[in-house]
Structure 1
Amino acid sequence: MPLTDTAADDVLDSEATRIQKARLWSDDGWTARVIKNEDDDGWAVAMTRDGESEPALVGPWTMGRDKKNPKPLDAPAFSTLVKTASEVIRRHEQQRHAMLHKNVYVTADARTTKVTLDIIPDEDDPYALLSAIDDTGEQLAQVRVAPNFKLNATSAAAWIESGFLRPERS
């Protein structure tokens, strides 16, 4: 049975943590809200994770049969929206991780060394940690560097050749 936006058709569980309305669904840590699209006459759906102030995903929503009102939310649509919004967050986290954590491998004297740069984006004092790790996983050195330090094979090799002296500010 399709849900409508009337109070009689709203489905709430006993703890009121699960809301299933035509334009508002909340379950499993997510809330889907069908909203008027500000850019045109259509509708959009905003997916917000519990505890977050901004939606993780906002996308177009299908018009109902009357071509004026939005199609009501339902369980399959909500499930798809949760999966899509979760994927958006996962990709964002992967991108952020890639921006803050870099590594290169340098081979010298028949020894491979992994050099990592971990940026710490502190609001007051951002910095980065430059680390060298041998092929057995043992940390050889670690120094604090500027967060804009450019890690590449050349800079890593120069740092290793210097005996792991702290690189000059760039």
Structure 2
Amino acid sequence: MTDTAFSSPETPETLHEDRLWRDDGWTARVIKNEDDDGWAVEMIKDGEAEPALVGPWTMGRNKKDPKPLDTSAFNTLVKTASEVLRRHEQQLRAQLHKSVTVEAPTGDGELDITLDIIPDEDDPYALLTALDSLGEQLAQVKVAASFKLNKASAEAWVENEFRRPG
């Protein structure tokens, strides 16, 4: 079977075999473990080229062949792989989105200053945004993706009447 079968944008049909299960948007494939004599299982989300999870797989009773996949194992693998993806997305979001709170210059409340990095391959940049206490956008400017948002830089931007930082 070719790798393209696992990254097709089409919805693959359900398949339940000893070493290959495809169901519910996921493919589990039992493979030879490259690091030792054992077996591994990889979980690939439909439409993705890379596995979300690769882990050791249990040997069968003959201590030579892998244990066959079954519904319970597949459901556990889906749950684990989904959690890995969720954590990865949270980590990526934390890297690309920063936020600090500063006092409004008028003294009536606080402002949320956010920095959202846009990781474009050719021209990465970030959007620096000021929101009032009601969540209304007061200002937004495009800055370098390397802009460091902290309390001091946010306060300086507010004091400079939201002009693009130099």
| Map 1:43-62 → 2, pairs under 5 A | 43-62=39-58
Q: Which amino acid aligns with 1:43?
A: W
Q: Is 1:148 the counterpart of 2:139 in the alignment?
A: no
The secondary structure found in structure 2 opposite 1:52 is coil
| Map 1:25-104 → 2, pairs under 5 A | 25-104=21-100
Extract structure 1 runs of 4+ deviating beyond 6 A.
Answer: none
The secondary structure found in structure 2 opposite 1:26 is strand
Give the alignment's TM-score, normalised by structure 2. 0.89
Which residue of structure 2 aligns with residue 10 of structure 1? Answer: none
In the TM superposition, what is the alpha-carbon distance from 1:136 to its structure 2 partner? Answer: 1.5
Unpaired runs of at least 5, structure 2: 1-11
Unpaired runs of at least 5, structure 1: 1-15
In structure 2, distance between residues paired with 1:111 and 1:50:
47
TM-align CA RMSD: 1.0
In structure 1, distance between residues paired with 2:135 and 2:38:
56
Larger of the two Rg values belongs to structure: 1
Cα deviation digits, residues 12-59 of structure 1 (max 9, x gap): xxxx81111110000001000000000000100000011111111000
The secondary structure found in structure 2 opposite 1:122 is coil
Q: Is 1:160 the counterpart of 2:164 in the alignment?
A: no
Which residue of structure 2 aligns with residue 113 of structure 1? Answer: 111
Aligned length: 153
Q: Which amino acid aligns with 1:107?
A: E
